[in-house]
Structure 1
Amino acid sequence: MIFKKVGWKLFIFLVLYWMVAIFFIVFLLSLGIAFIFYVKDSSGFYFDFIKESIYSLSKAVPGGSILGSGIWIKSWLQEKKDKKSFSK
């Protein structure tokens, strides 16, 4: 997806993109850790999908919001800088 200018569509895209990315990273890490303990201990595979999904979501929402907003602000400032230097 290519955005022509830095606007609200890009902001929403970046925030949602990073929320989803962080959610999957945290969720898959939790699943991997549970799998490692299952292989090492052989006592049974214990992984609560609902609990881990809520935990991953609680980390993804603030992290994705801050990261997406920061990237958007940086690109917005870069666009303003480029317009200013282009007009000189």
Structure 2
Amino acid sequence: MQFKKVGFPLFIFLILYWMVAIFLIIFLLSLGIAFVFYLKNGNEFYFDFFKESTYSLSKAIPGGSILGVGIWIKARLQERKDSKTSVK
């Protein structure tokens, strides 16, 4: 997806993108850890999808929001800097 301008659509995109990315990273890491314990112990595979999903979501929402807003602010400042240097 190509954004021509640093505006509100990019703001929403960055927040949602990083929320999803952090959610998937945490969820897949916890699934991988459960799988390693399953292979090591040989017992039944215990993974509570609902509990791990809510845990991952509780970490992804604030983390993705802060990261998305921070990247958007950096892009906004860079756009202002580039526009000021091109005017001179």
TM-score by length of 1: 0.99
* Counterpart Cα distance in 1 of 2:15 and 2:42: 40
Instruction: Find the counterpart in structure 1 of residue 60 from structure 2.
Output: 60
Which runs of no fewer than 5 residues in structure 1 stay unpaired? none
Moved over 4 A (4+): none
Map of 1:21 onto structure 2: 21
1:37 maps to: 37
Report deviation, 1:45: 0.5
Unaligned runs of 5+ residues in structure 2 are none
Q: For 1:49 and 1:82, locate their aligned partners in 2 and report how far apart those are by CA, in whole Å.
A: 46
Structure 2 equivalent of residue 2 of structure 1: 2
Identity %: 74
RMSD, aligned α-carbons? 0.4
Deviation string, structure 1 residues 46-80 (Cα, Å, up to 9, x no partner): 00000000000001000000000000000000000
What letter corresponds to residue 13 of structure 1 in structure 2?
A: F
- Cα distance in 2, alignment partners of residues 59 and 42 from structure 1: 30
TM-score (norm 2): 0.99
SS in 2 for 1:46: coil
3-state DSSP class of the match of 2:86? helix
